[in-house]
Amino acid sequence: GGEEGGGGNAWFAIEKTVMPHETDYSGHMWHGNYIAWLEEARVMLLDNKGVSYAEIVAAGVALVVAEVAVRYRRPALLGETVAIRVRVRRGGG
């Protein structure tokens, strides 16, 4: 994974390949799996910054997901490699 762009809200990207268990009967990735991939990318983003998600949880800190946005541009198909981009922003209030 790696960062794209600069600044505090830079995007972090990983690549994943669509596996059979992640697809529906037609070979399209099931829409609910995208959220799991976003969470995996979020944990990897923290790791890339030297922050252990396990240590955060052990310290009793909750990293709340206040909003998730997914833009389905086209289906991810079985065997395709897909780029997942995430960024973490400070919440307000």
Indicate the burial class of 3 (C-beta count within 10 angstroms; 0-12, 13-18, 19 or more).
middle
CA 63 to chain centroid:
14
CA angle 55, 58, 63 (to 5 degrees): 75
Looking at this protein, which amino acid is placed at residue 72? Y
For residue 24, indicate whether it is catalytic: yes
Of the residues 4, 17, 19, 24, which is catalytic?
24
Catalytic positions, written as ranges? 24
